[in-house]
A and B are shown apart, each in its own frame.
Chain A
Amino acid sequence: MSDVKKDAVKKVATREAYGNALAEFGEAYPDMVVLDADLAAATKTGVFKKKFPERHIDCGIAEANMMGIAAGLSLTGKIPVASTFAMFAAGRAFEQVRNSIGYPHLNVKIGATHAGITVGEDGASHQCNEDIALMRTIPGMTILNPSDAVEARACVKAALDYEGPVYMRFGRAAVPVINDREDYKFEIGKGQVLREGSDVTIVATGILVNSALEAAEKLAAEGVSAEVINICTIKPLDRELIAASARKTGKVVTAEEHSVIGGLGGAVCEALAEVCPVPVCRIGIEDVFGESGSAGALLVKYGLDGEGVYGKVKAFLS
């Protein structure tokens, strides 16, 4: 991480890109209404509020009700984007999302920020490492977990164009921008091979995509050829892409800033067990709660930085 090249990389938090995207698309999507639960400054919906105050609804500290209000708004033709921390969106309001949004399959977008351990100093009470697992169990729920600011913006646009419930996952910490290129294209349900390889497949999501790329670079220096796949859409999962790579390399590693239970690792194992059973190593938060600390220090401690992923892949291969 102390490498000079890395320090030069532009860093933006995905929540920042989320707020900017809401404001950017506000005009093109006049039916969009943004809801928040007293966290507009933190979730960055405040950026939208500044531009479209009449279409920003602060529901106060009442997330369960906010999800229901979003459901009702969608039934009058609005495109509600309900925003709060992942802990409250997926955790506290799980059953409202399940019954008031998922079951009637309403056109509600959920913008969940402060996901994962990089919430940092607030500590375990606010570090949601379970939201992907929770949301995956809801039939018809689409789950997007962007890897950087460019992808976060693309997710917002795709979610607005999609008819149905979408859970978008954003982070608090500034992370490297890795998709800033001309040919970047985003499509719900499609994974992307970011680096081709033949010895092992690293399937990564969210900010762990960058760690996976860093790990692949280090592995390459040692003659290990790692394929890196970015899975932004965790549901529906791009099973074909992952299975094709697994068939080629015969070994799969999953990497996510989420519990190793029920998230990307769970989804990939479920898919591969059915179509291409190969050994899988799941990298993520082990079955533990987090703790206070800076985002960067926590990523290192929990083995989720480039070095950590590199070490785990090496151990898996040996």
Chain B
Amino acid sequence: MEILELKQHANDVRKGIVAAVHGAKAGHPGGSLSAADIFTYLYFEEMNIDPKNPKMEDRDRFVLSKGHTAPGLYSALANRGYFPVEDLPTLRHLGSYLQGHPCLQHVPGVDMSSGSLGQGISAAVGMAMGARLSGKDFRVYTLLGDGEIEEGQVWEAAMFAGHRKLDNLVVIVDNNGLQIDGPIDNVCSPNPIDKKFEAFNFHVVNLEDGNDMEQIRAAFAEARSTKGKPTAIIAHTLKGKGVSFMEGSVDWHGKAPNDAEYEIAVADLERLEAQLSGPVQTTPERNGEA
């Protein structure tokens, strides 16, 4: 898929995120938006999946270890065709299948229930081990927050994956630098993240701009070609990316926009959409601006 098209999908995913969180009057927009480009790349380009057959036996798997950014995953799934985009605003409503955190049993396309930080990566490692034991070549992806990796279980899982040389596993850290209580460096710094994963016998890809589709593509290609080691992609992203007043702000970690703020967010994303849907440029712009 062309980079421009992926960017357009990512913008749609962002629109779904703000619609979902606005509809829920709660939820986590900041970390959903920072990872929107990664969600998009995974579901529109990287993974071997079939929205018409979410349980396809040998599909690639994705575990959202940072489960609170369910709006990002749900929006990617909806935009990819797993369920109607129109359902996104029912997020967190009583009776909706779109539970506050990913729920395996109710949401088509969700490969593992998650939300309690540190646990998703273990399940992903188990899936990768399952593929290995069964001699299957499907790949497993899991997305973690940079605050989440303060959980000790993450390193238990990393130790196991490194020890078992699970090269069908890709761990992505959404390194937006902010957790609920503030900057990760002020709360309980997990830095240096890359060196930690290296020490746990991972191949590490430092993704300089985790909101840049071309760089994302290159990072996943590098992971795919890495043999004999699991890969950790440390994706430097901007929290709240795409919505002007949410960008770089810890205040929007877990808060929904009110009606007026929602209008601004939609206007921001429509402006981006207009830029992306202009005449297709022969040389796609390199840096996602703003």
Query: How would residues 116 to 158 of chain B score, 1 for a CB under 8 Å from any chain A CB and 0 otherwise?
Result: 1011111111111111011010000000000000001100110
CB-defined interface of A70-84 with B at 8 Å, one 1/0 digit per residue? Answer: 111111111010000
The 8 Å CB contact of B153, one of A65, A73, A76, A105, is: A65
Given contacts A68-B157, A76-B134, contact A99 B129 (CB under 8 A): no
| Cα–Cα, bound, A72→B125 (Å) | 7
| A54→B132 CA distance, assembly (Å) | 11
Other-chain residue from B105, B124, B130, B159 in contact with A62 (beta carbon distance below 8 A): B159
B104 at the interface (CB under 8 A from A): yes
B133–A72 touching, CB < 8 Å: no
Cβ < 8 Å to B, chain A residues 25-58: 33, 54-55, 57
Contacts of B75 on A, CB cut-off 8 Å?
none
Contact: B156 with A72, CB < 8 Å? no
Contacts of A96 in B (CB 8 A): 119, 122, 153
Evaluate contact between B115 and A68: CB separation under 8 angstroms: no
Minimum Cβ distance to chain B for residue A73 (Å): 5
User: Main SS of chain B's interface residues?
Assistant: helix
Q: Report yes or no: B121 in contact with A68, Cβ–Cβ below 8 A.
A: yes
Interface assignment of B12: CB less than 8 Å from any CB of chain A: no
A55–B152 Cα distance when bound, in Å, is 26
Chain B residue contacts of A55, Cβ below 8 A: 133
- Of A72, A78, A105, the residue contacting B128 (CB under 8 A) is A72
Whether A279 is near chain B, meaning CB under 8 Å from some CB there, is no
Least Cβ–Cβ distance between B136 and chain A, in angstroms:
8
Cβ-closest chain A residue relative to B152: A64
Best-surrounded residue of A54, A70, A100 (most CB of chain B within 10 A): A100
Instruction: Say yes or no: A65-B122 contact (C-beta < 8 A), given A95-B116, A99-B116, A103-B113.
Output: yes
With beta carbons under 8 angstroms apart, the residue of B119, B126, B156 that contacts A73 is B126
| A289 CB → nearest B CB, Å | 26
Say yes or no: A75 contacts B127, CB within 8 Å: yes
* Closest B residue by C-beta to A98: B116
Partner of B112, one of A62, A67, A71: A71
B-chain residues with CB within 8 Å of residue A62 when the two chains form the complex: 153, 156, 159-160
Compute how far the CA of A95 lies from the CA of B121 in the bound complex, rounded to whole angstroms: 15
Interface size of B by CB at 8 A reads 35
B212 lies within 8 A of chain A by Cβ: no
Check if B156 sits within 8 Å of A65, measured CB to CB.
Answer: yes
* B122→A73 contact, CB < 8 A: no
Is B61 at the interface (CB under 8 A from chain A)?
yes
| Docked pose: A68 CA to B126 CA in angstroms | 7
Complex contact B156–A64 (CB within 8 A)? yes
Report which residue of B116, B127, B129 has the largest number of chain A beta carbons within 10 angstroms of its beta carbon: B129
Task: State whether the Cβ of A59 lies closer than 8 Å to any Cβ in chain B.
Answer: yes
Please name all residues of chain A whose beta carbon is closer than 8 Å to the beta carbon of B61 when the two chains form the complex: 75
* Interface status of A139 (Cβ within 8 A of chain B): no
| Cβ of B111 under 8 Å from chain A | yes
- Residues of chain A within 8 A of B104, CB atoms compared: 104
Q: Give residues in B with beta carbon < 8 Å to A.
A: 57, 61, 63, 103-105, 111-113, 115-116, 118-131, 133-134, 136, 152-153, 156-157, 159-160, 163
A-B contact pairs, 23 of them (CB 8 A): A54-B133, A55-B133, A60-B160, A64-B119, A64-B122, A64-B152, A64-B156, A68-B119, A68-B157, A69-B157, A70-B126, A71-B126, A72-B124, A72-B130, A73-B127, A74-B126, A75-B61, A76-B127, A76-B130, A76-B133, A78-B134, A80-B126, A104-B113
Nearest 3 A-B pairs (CB), nearest first?
A72-B126, A68-B122, A76-B130
Which residues of A are in contact with B by a Cβ distance under 8 Å? 33, 54-55, 57, 59-60, 62, 64-65, 67-78, 80, 95-96, 99-100, 103-105
